[in-house]
Structure 1
Amino acid sequence: MMGHHDARATGVLRLACAAQFMVVLDVSVVNVALPSLRTDLGFDAVGLQWVVNGYALAFAGFLLLGGRLADLYGRRRVLLAGLGLFTVASLAGGLATAPGVLTAMRAVQGLGAAVLAPATLTVLTTTFGEGPARTRALAVWSAVSSAGGATGNLLGGILTDGLSWRWTLLINVPVGAIAAVAALRLLPADRPATARRALDLPGAVLATGGVTALVWGMTQAQRDGWTGPATLTGLGGGAVLLTALVLVERRPSGNPLVPPRLVRLRPVWAGNAVMLVAGACFIPMWYFLSLYMQEVLHYGALATGLGFLPHTLGGIAGARLASVLMGRFGARALIVASSLLAAAGFLWQSRIAPGDSYLVGLFGPALVMSAGMGLLSTPITTTVTSGAHPRDAGAASGLMNTTRQLGGALGLAALVTVAAAHGTGSGAALRPVFTVVAVLCVATAALACVLPSGGRAPAAVPAPSPAPADEPT
């Protein structure tokens, strides 16, 4: 690349990828360290699950708010705030000597991640204009996201076995510090405070409470079933709060957390519908395969992490190839084809037989379904963020990330119910679980047909008048 602008754009891409890698990594990096930290800090069984759930709930619950903050208060400022919160919480969690401290810091990490994840996507979509350059940038960002999810299990095993569970958190400290310095150098200064608009506090409270309640209800369904009191309370409360959010956001004045003009865009509403179903397919995969490798194949932490290497490589290869295929066939066609490819991989995985070794039962399906997942990530991300005006880029990013997390939580809760009838981590459970996931992938392909056709994203919506209020609906 040549020129100062190109060099800065490359630096911004590297910064966004590094920050996103940290966020995705910490979803799974502590999983294989749970037995060690339980022994070290004295967690009971209930408290231990909150090391994982605390991060997931805070992350999902605050994503909409985190995305909108970047639009209102400046992308550099919000990205630095997210980095700072995430890094400090990682340091405090890594040094924790009591269960309550670690659990609290995991929740603060999730909050920092909810601010950081939409910001990484926002700085990309505002640095790279719609077209091939943005597609290539999103392909790299998607590949890094895919690598982060799978690398968490491997890196967690290496750090736990070689050093201590504490380093699954402390590793974020130097990375976060370097990323913060890079952000100060690469991202333009934010606008003066007088140019900013007030945050939609009612919308922020309703969105955060509603999404958190929904995810809480879904996590309880994994343990108590769909008719358990906690499940029904979470799902019902979330539905009420999000219904209230829709009504509040339709006000003709104020500054909505999710602007109505944004969700009226076909790429946004249709793309998020596809993302919801795709999240239900892909996110639960890591959970069930990890259980299978540890409970059926009796792998340790490090071996389980190594077992995910084909998934990592397949996802990276698919994401990098996606930008080339998008230019030739268009985003919608690639989403349909990649969903069907993933369906074939999951269907193959569902044919696993008792006594199959890793090479016979897992290796081949891993390459096919992860390639499908990698190919899907770039075109769906490009589609969902296309057409939005730069002033709504953070809201679009936050909405997409929220939809993906909700889909994953819903899919995991439903599939745990399916697995429970067949022995959860057993080979017998894997067959119906991945058959259902294959069907969901086909549904993703069918749903993608409502997306705009063609290889080019639609033109961005024109900016409304300079008045701070959102236009009436």
Structure 2
Amino acid sequence: MHIAPQDSITEQPLSTSNQNVATGVRTGRPRPATGLAFAVLAIVQATLIFTITLISIPLPDIARELDLSSADLVLIQTAYGLPYSGLLLFGGRLADRYGGRRLFMVGLSLFGLASATAAFAPTFEALVAVRFGQGVGAALTAPAALAALRAVFPEPARFSRAMATWGGVSVLGAAVGTLTSGAVTTWISWRWMFAVPVLVAALALAVTRHLLPAGPATESQARPGLDPAGAVLATLGISLASYGLIVSEDRPWGSATVLVPLAIGAVLLGAFLALERRVRHPLLPPGFIRTPHRIVGLAGVMLAAAGIGLVTVLLALYLQQIRSWSPLETAGAFLPFTVALIATNRAAAVLVGRFGAGRVTVAGLVIGAAGLALLAGLDRGSSFALGLLPGLILLPAGTSLVFSGSAVLTTADVPSHQAGLAGGVMNTAMELGPTVGLAALMAVAATQTDVVAGYAWAFGAGGAVYLAAALVAVALLRRTPSSADG
């Protein structure tokens, strides 16, 4: 996994203007300390996403061992993701108020402890509880990691160059989680999957104080308020709406199980947005996401995460349920996918530096659309080499470029005292992408009577959305070339 931004950090002074942040960056070598700090933070970030997918393939084994129903499995899957996505904005506020390194250590401690407990969970209820604890710890850790990264690279231009590499880190975690879970489940036990987050948390905590700066001292009167009402509304609204979208994959859209949480979540989010216009220290300042380059960046993060989630879920179902592949064979099918992600991530930072974050994001959307279009030809007799492999290479290549470019666009011009906010917003978009995308595209798939034909339609619809997003991104970025793509 390529995580050190060795081609994207330079000691040469650069202009820190908005134009230079998003247009492109020179390449060079990082100082050893900053490179190691980046590596630690990046591995932790990848592990937070890895933990979402680590039980995806072994779910049937978990169901047999704990005697679970389909509804129980949905709860196990959502127990981590719901608090993670719901609490990210508040986690960002805490990081900005108390410092990235401090909250990073608190969140990582909780995440590691919950992960260790999950490995020994004796019952369904215990597993759900500790997965929830993992999600809470992850929601504190993720925005704090980005705030700590900003402290490691305080100059805006150098921070932007780091973000060009950081953007592809999370998706690598998801791919590695899918890849390794099949092997671990086949040869030992799904419980051993939790050893990875435990080990990463322990090692990161051991070196954090030596590698990460405490961050600049902040006067208490300059610290942002906590906005507790906004935090409650945002957390409950995002969590309930996400739950409604998740259960829509197995329940009719008109059922109370889907409509009630969706409706309540929408009302709470509306109340949150209204509140943010009136409070002195809003959890999400209304103008923060209105700039064209940030809109493109957040949309890119959501779409890239949705594309990865769609392929991971649908192809795992197709290979295991339609083609009768084993978990190990299914995991192996994603090996080219993972290699393509890693290879593109190595080149993404250089491409952002040469062509600009906006152009790289648009190019990634077009390449990803081509990959989804190829997968739209899926049928029951599709061969792996000709029917799946081309799409499994093009899609991750495109999404890796989108993640890298979008990470730079999302964090451009963010002051150091809002680094946690930027981390919370970007990670929220990353978490909502698969939730919203899967719900919408599975609804497209449900229009077809044949399951495989439905999968093909979902891939085709996803490709169309990617192309439309590329066109919209071009239009938005042309309005502000100085802040997006020179």
TM-score (normalised: structure 1): 0.90
Check the 8 A contact 1:319/1:377 in 2, yes or no: no
Aligned to 2:386: 360
Q: Deviations over 1:120-161 (max 9, x none)?
A: 223223422566643442343233322211111221122222
Instruction: Find the partner of 2:263 among 228, 236, 241.
Output: 236
Check the 8 A contact 2:85/2:238 in 1, yes or no: yes
Deviates more, 1:183-192 or 1:162-171: 183-192
- Code of the residue aligned with 1:235 in structure 2: it is L
- Code of the residue aligned with 1:218 in structure 2: it is L
Matches within 5 A, 1:346-385: 346-385=372-411
Deviates more, 1:202-211 or 1:264-273: 264-273
Matches within 5 A, 1:70-85: 70-85=95-110
Q: Deviations over 1:416-459 (max 9, x none)?
A: 222234367x432322111101101112202212444588757x
Check the 8 A contact 1:135/1:382 in 2, yes or no: yes
Aligned to 1:297: 323
Cα 1:48/1:61, change in 2 over 3 Å = same
Aligned length: 457
- Code of the residue aligned with 2:433 in structure 1: it is G
Check the 8 A contact 2:156/2:413 in 1, yes or no: no
Q: Deviations over 1:66-108 (max 9, x none)?
A: 1221111110111111111111111111111111001111111
Instruction: Find the partner of 2:182 among 142, 157, 165.
Output: 157
Cα 1:278/1:451, change in 2 over 3 Å = farther
Cα 1:304/1:317, change in 2 over 3 Å = same
Aligned to 1:323: 349
Cα 1:432/1:205, change in 2 over 3 Å = same
Check the 8 A contact 1:265/1:387 in 2, yes or no: no
Aligned to 1:125: 150
Deviates more, 1:34-43 or 1:282-291: 34-43
Check the 8 A contact 1:326/1:455 in 2, yes or no: no
Cα 1:189/1:328, change in 2 over 3 Å = closer
Check the 8 A contact 1:328/1:455 in 2, yes or no: no
Aligned to 2:209: 184
- How far 1:368 moved relative to its partner? 1.0
Aligned to 2:468: 443
Check the 8 A contact 1:130/1:457 in 2, yes or no: no
RMSD across aligned C-alpha pairs, in angstroms? Answer: 2.5
Query: Aligned residues: percent identity?
Result: 34
Q: Following the alignment from structure 1 to structure 2, what is the Cα–Cα distance between the partners of residues 395 and 19?
A: 18
- Code of the residue aligned with 1:148 in structure 2: it is G
Cα 1:245/1:181, change in 2 over 3 Å = same
- Code of the residue aligned with 1:312 in structure 2: it is T
Aligned to 1:48: 73
Q: Deviations over 1:241-277 (max 9, x none)?
A: 1111112111252x21112342344433443244344
Q: Following the alignment from structure 2 to structure 1, what is the Cα–Cα distance between the partners of residues 34 and 197?
A: 24
Q: Following the alignment from structure 1 to structure 2, what is the Cα–Cα distance between the partners of residues 118 and 284?
A: 25
Check the 8 A contact 1:334/1:375 in 2, yes or no: yes
Check the 8 A contact 1:86/1:109 in 2, yes or no: yes
Q: Following the alignment from structure 1 to structure 2, what is the Cα–Cα distance between the partners of residues 184 and 455?
A: 40
Deviates more, 1:84-93 or 1:236-245: 236-245
Cα 1:174/1:354, change in 2 over 3 Å = closer
Instruction: Find the partner of 2:238 among 197, 208, 211.
Output: 211
- How far 1:336 moved relative to its partner? 1.3
Q: Following the alignment from structure 1 to structure 2, what is the Cα–Cα distance between the partners of residues 305 and 132?
A: 39
Q: Secondary structure at the match of 2:190?
A: coil
Q: Deviations over 1:315-362 (max 9, x none)?
A: 222222122222222221221111111111110111134312211211
Instruction: Find the partner of 1:199 among 206, 215, 226.
Output: 226
Q: Following the alignment from structure 1 to structure 2, what is the Cα–Cα distance between the partners of residues 72 and 346?
A: 42
Instruction: Find the partner of 1:313 among 336, 339, 359.
Output: 339
- Code of the residue aligned with 2:327 in structure 1: it is A
Deviates more, 1:97-106 or 1:235-244: 235-244
Matches within 5 A, 1:99-138: 99-129=124-154, 133-138=158-163
Q: Following the alignment from structure 1 to structure 2, what is the Cα–Cα distance between the partners of residues 36 and 281?
A: 26
Cα 1:106/1:328, change in 2 over 3 Å = same
Q: Secondary structure at the match of 2:288?
A: helix
Matches within 5 A, 1:381-400: 381-400=407-426
Deviates more, 1:209-218 or 1:355-364: 355-364
Q: Deviations over 1:18-61 (max 9, x none)?
A: 11121111111111222222222332332122111111111111
Aligned to 1:25: 50
- Code of the residue aligned with 1:432 in structure 2: it is W
Q: List gaps (5 residues or longer) in structure 2.
A: 1-5, 12-29
Q: Secondary structure at the match of 1:244?
A: helix
Matches within 5 A, 1:253-268: 253=280, 255-268=281-294
Cα 1:224/1:93, change in 2 over 3 Å = same
**Are residue 67 (structure 1) and residue 92 (structure 2) matched?**
yes
Aligned to 2:17: none
Aligned to 2:434: 408
Q: Following the alignment from structure 1 to structure 2, what is the Cα–Cα distance between the partners of residues 6 and 297?
A: 50
- Code of the residue aligned with 2:176 in structure 1: it is T
Q: Following the alignment from structure 2 to structure 1, what is the Cα–Cα distance between the partners of residues 407 and 236?
A: 25
- Code of the residue aligned with 2:233 in structure 1: it is L
Q: Secondary structure at the match of 1:235?
A: helix
Q: List gaps (5 residues or longer) in structure 1.
A: 459-473
- Code of the residue aligned with 1:298 in structure 2: it is S
Q: Deviations over 1:169-226 (max 9, x none)?
A: 1332122110111212111235478464441101100110110111011012212222
Q: Following the alignment from structure 1 to structure 2, what is the Cα–Cα distance between the partners of residues 131 and 310?
A: 35
Q: Following the alignment from structure 2 to structure 1, what is the Cα–Cα distance between the partners of residues 199 and 393?
A: 33
Q: Following the alignment from structure 2 to structure 1, what is the Cα–Cα distance between the partners of residues 427 and 224?
A: 23
- Code of the residue aligned with 1:245 in structure 2: it is F
Q: Secondary structure at the match of 1:295?
A: helix
Q: Secondary structure at the match of 1:275?
A: helix
- Code of the residue aligned with 2:336 in structure 1: it is P
Cα 1:455/1:31, change in 2 over 3 Å = same
TM-score (normalised: structure 2): 0.88
Cα 1:451/1:319, change in 2 over 3 Å = farther
